[in-house]
Amino acid sequence: MTIRGDKKDQNFYVIGLSYEKADAETRGKFTFFPDKVSDFVKDAKQNGLANFFVVSTCNRTEMYGFAPSAECMIEQYCRFTEGDIEEFRNFVNIQEGKKAVEHLFRVSSGLESQILGDFDIIGQIKIWFTRFKKEGTTNAFLERLINTSIQISKRIKNETLLSNGSASVAFSAVNFILDSQKDLASKNILLYGVGKIGRNTCENLVKHSEGSQITLINRTREKAEILGNKYEVIVKDHADLLEELQKTDILIVATGASKHTITEEMIPMDKSMTIIDMSVPENVVHTLGSRDNIHLVNVDGLSKMVDETLNTRKEAIPLAESIISELMDEFAEWLKTREFVPYIQSFKSRLQFIQDNEIHNLRKDNLSVDENELLLTKKMIQRITNQFASYLLENRDHAEDTYELMQKMFRLKEA
């Protein structure tokens, strides 16, 4: 599968890092935040990159796109993160062409998720792709790529047991609490941050820890109130955070900020607490974990605490991979047709030029042109173009020779 960009010297790559090689602290340094998209796009275009998008989640951060080399993408990406480029190179995963396409399809399917079968990733991919699409960095190839990724995700979810059972980071957090805490009904639980992970965690908490004292705090109170009303839990102002921490037994942090939102001085030295940090980059300063009276767990720790449903999910891997293989073949066939688009467009443009020139001459001689006849000639041009396209597709091995002949006959422009 040969994949060229709109510029002939560019190939399709994915560069990035994930939980497989980099721990949560390292991934946090290279997290890409949505507010950087616009500036990133402007800078990338100035550096010759036109078609690309970034996906950044708690488990992976990757850039997909066309570039002269993977190194160009690495340099471009690292300029907009907090991490050092040399450290990035130590952990980076690079795929090119067909392997890059297959990698995205596997990520979209949940096969590459830190918790096997976690389908939250496809929603994140769609959101991130839309952000870059609004900035004008997509093209026909990337659009088709994402649409196929969505199709793969849907089919695997509907036709396999890869997502069977409850095994997500949010569920693992609640599972950990249930397994490690005695007399949960007497504990004060504070959930700080109500983004998607926070909302999922709140739902699981309410469902599985009946009778517990749950309090929500979010920087924007209105969002917390919506969740609080839905699940009938307490909501406090962000200004009350320090006061609430004084009486918290279990703290769940899902703030998703670029800096620490829970620091040493916020927790009294004599305070005993279980802290679950679900954010990447880590939003709880890791030195808190060195205290004897604090048990700190991050997303990597949670991902190791999944339930036995993973065994069932593993049995679904071959079927999931067969679906990916099937749609990989369809994508490859579509891609082959794209190879001849410049030839076909050049041929059609020449026919339209001949038509427009003849009509101009008729009108110059004061001869009327029947609109029905004009419509007929347009249909004829499309039919002839379709015949040309079909011949190229059916005779791929001779496509270059065919186009060269048509160039001489019709004086076509270079494709």
Looking up tokens 């020139």 gives: 357
119 in a labelled binding site: yes
The annotation status of 118 as a binding-site residue, yes or no, is yes
- Rounded to 5 degrees, what angle do the CA atoms 105, 108, 113 make? 115
Task: Give catalytic status of residue 202 as yes or no.
Answer: no
195 is in an annotated binding site: yes
Separation of alpha carbons 358 and 354, rounded Å: 6
Q: Of the listed 58, 72, 78, 202, which one is catalytic?
A: 58
Confirm or deny that 113 is annotated as ligand binding: yes
| 58 labeled part of a ligand binding site | yes
User: Is 57 marked as binding a ligand?
Assistant: yes
Residue 306 CB partners (closer than 8 Å, separation 6+): 115, 167, 172
- Please state the three-class secondary structure of the chain as a single string: CCCECCCCCCEEEEEEEECCCCCHHHHHHCCCCHHHHHHHHHHHHHCCCCCEEEEECCCEEEEEEEECCHHHHHHHHHCCCCCCHHHHHHHCEEEECHHHHHHHHHHHHCCCCCCCCCCHHHHHHHHHHHHHHHCCCCCHHHHHHHHHHHHHHHHHHHHCCCCCCCCCHHHHHHHHHHHHCCCHHHCEEEEECCCHHHHHHHHHHHHHCCCCEEEEECCCHHHHHHHHHHHCCEEECHHHHHHHHHCCCEEEECCCCCCCCECHHHCCCCCCEEEEECCCCCCECHHHHHCCCEEEECHHHHHCCCCCHHHHHHHCHHHHHHHHHHHHHHHHHHHHHHHCHHHHHHHHHHHHHHHHHHHHHHHHCCCCCCHHHHHHHHHHHHHHHHHHHHHHHHCHHHHHHHHHHHHHHHCCCCC
Q: Is 196 annotated as a binding residue?
A: yes
48 annotated to bind ligand:
no
Binding residues for substrate are: 57-60, 113, 118-120, 124
Binding residues are: 57-60, 113, 118-120, 124, 193-198
**Catalytically active residues, by annotation:** 58
Binding residues for NADP(+) are: 193-198
